[in-house]
């Protein structure tokens, strides 16, 4: 907590150089990418013993593959199936529900990959798809309800350079579920809804694999229309260095801009695993909102208000920056997209 609070007041080195108009050799601008702006919604709903119950719906994930929404009497899940298993595909989600009368959250990352790390020989890896289950036990509970939000992203496999700013579309999603009477065949009911959003003009992120690549790709600056710039910094060498995200707002009154954000990490009571910060103001010296720390292994939601318009984002972040014994195993994988 001390380090995070300190970062709210401190300016990342790369961001400071950029504001001062000096060259930042470690910065990489976002490469050209295919423009996508799409919203999709799928619903699985059935009741009782209908002759033709539909247990599964499928939606396209632009540039990556597909996602399946499954509600069967014995299993419930959301599942991702990328077209390319050699790439590093991640489906992060934060699930909110009740367990034994307590509000809980669980942050999960369902991965599909051939190379777990740069040291992997490629003979293992995952299967062609990965899922996150929604039922808490087997046999399935009689009743359950909850919500989740998340982000699906893809970058080159960990046996290759990460490439810096993301070029594959990033898709955010929101999920809700409700099932009941599952112990009583003929009286069962299930409804699950999944909303997906892919807006490449609003996405940002950064990927590097290995300390050598990080020497030239430790920062990514992305223009977000109507807002300004998103700056992701992920420096190798130590967790005491900058692993941050910041925004440089534009507009008529950038000084009135502010940032709300929250961290979600691990699994357990909401009060222990969700940290929320509000009204982080504009710094007139740096021209930035932030920088604020990236989670080492977790998610964020961020709301940026510029000229009275608030825009929300969901972000996933995983990094290893201090493996001095084998620096090629260091990595940083950050992806963010507009909230659905």
Alpha helices in the chain (DSSP H): 2-9, 13-19, 211-217, 270-273
Is residue 150 within a helix (H) or strand (E), and if so which, with residue range? strand 144-155
pTM of the model: 0.89
Q: Where on the phi/psi map is residue 65: left (φ > 0), alpha (ψ -120 to 50), or beta?
A: left
pLDDT of residue 51: 67
Write phi, then psi, for 5 (nearest 5 degrees): -60, -40
**pLDDT tens for each residue of the chain, 340 residues long:** 444 443 444 444 444 444 333 334 444 444 456 899 999 999 999 998 766 788 999 999 999 999 999 999 999 999 999 999 999 999 999 999 998 889 999 999 999 999 999 999 999 899 999 999 999 888 899 999 999 999 999 999 999 999 999 999 999 999 999 999 999 988 999 999 999 999 999 999 999 999 999 999 999 999 999 999 999 999 999 888 899 999 999 989 999 999 999 999 999 999 999 999 999 999 999 999 999 999 999 999 999 999 999 999 999 999 999 999 999 999 999 999 999 9
φ and ψ at 307, to 5 degrees?
55, 40
pLDDT at 136: 83
Residue among 148, 145, 146, 135 nearest 174 (CA): 148
Name the burial class of residue 267, with classes exposed (0-12), middle (13-18) and buried (19+) by CB atoms within 10 angstroms of its CB. Answer: middle
Alpha carbon of residue 65 to chain centroid: 17
- Rounded to 5 degrees, φ, ψ at 134 are -105, -25
pLDDT score, position 139? 86
- How many helices and strands, by DSSP H and E, does the chain display? 4, 22
Using DSSP bridges, classify how beta strands 219-224 and 27-29 pair: parallel, antiparallel or unpaired.
Answer: parallel
Instruction: Please report the pLDDT score of residue 67 as a whole number.
Output: 99
Q: Which letter, b or e, does each residue of 145-158 get, where b requires 16 or more Cβ atoms within 10 Å of its Cβ?
A: ebebbbbbbbbbbb
The secondary structure of residue 50, as a DSSP letter, is -
Predicted local confidence at residue 186, as pLDDT: 87
d(CA 1, CA 6): 8
pLDDT for 277 equals 98
Q: 102-112 and 65-72 as β-strands: parallel, antiparallel, unpaired?
A: unpaired
- Residue 137: the pLDDT is 84
pLDDT for 50 equals: 65
């Amino acid at each position: 907590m001390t380090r995070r609070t300190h970062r709210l007041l401190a300016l990342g080195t790369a961001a400071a150089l950029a504001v001062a108009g000096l060259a930042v050799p470690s910065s990489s601008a976002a490469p050209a990418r295919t423009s996508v702006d799409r919203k999709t919604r799928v619903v699985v709903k059935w009741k009782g013993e209908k002759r033709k119950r539909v247990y599964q719906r499928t939606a396209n994930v632009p540039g990556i593959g597909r996602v399946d929404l499954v509600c069967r009497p014995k299993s419930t899940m959301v599942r991702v199936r990328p077209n390319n298993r050699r790439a590093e595909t991640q489906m992060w989600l934060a699930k909110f529900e009740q367990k034994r009368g307590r509000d809980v959250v669980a942050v999960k990352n369902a991965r599909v990959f051939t190379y777990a790390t740069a040291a992997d020989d490629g003979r293992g890896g995952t299967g062609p798809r990965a899922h996150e289950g929604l039922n808490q036990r087997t046999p399935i509970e009689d009743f359950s309800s909850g919500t989740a939000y998340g982000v699906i992203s893809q970058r080159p496999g960990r046996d290759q350079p990460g490439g810096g700013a993301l070029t594959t579309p990033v898709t955010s999603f929101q999920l809700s579920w409700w099932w009941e009477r599952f112990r009583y065949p003929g009286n069962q009911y299930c409804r699950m809804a999944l909303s997906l959003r892919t807006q490449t003009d609003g996405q940002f992120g950064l990927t590097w694999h290995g300390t050598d690549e990080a020497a030239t790709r430790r920062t990514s600056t992305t223009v977000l229309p109507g807002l300004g710039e998103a700056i992701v910094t992920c420096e190798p060498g130590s967790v005491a260095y900058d692993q941050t995200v910041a925004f440089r707002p534009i507009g008529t009154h950038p000084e009135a801009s502010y940032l709300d954000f929250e961290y979600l990490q691990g699994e357990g009571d909401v009060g222990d695993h969700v940290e929320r910060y509000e009204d982080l103001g504009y710094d007139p010296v740096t021209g930035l909102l932030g920088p604020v720390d990236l989670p080492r292994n977790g998610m964020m939601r961020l709301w940026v208000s510029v000229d009275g318009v608030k825009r929300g984002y969901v972000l996933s972040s995983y990094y290893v920056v201090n493996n001095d014994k084998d620096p090629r195993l260091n990595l940083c994988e950050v992806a963010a997209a507009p909230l659905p």
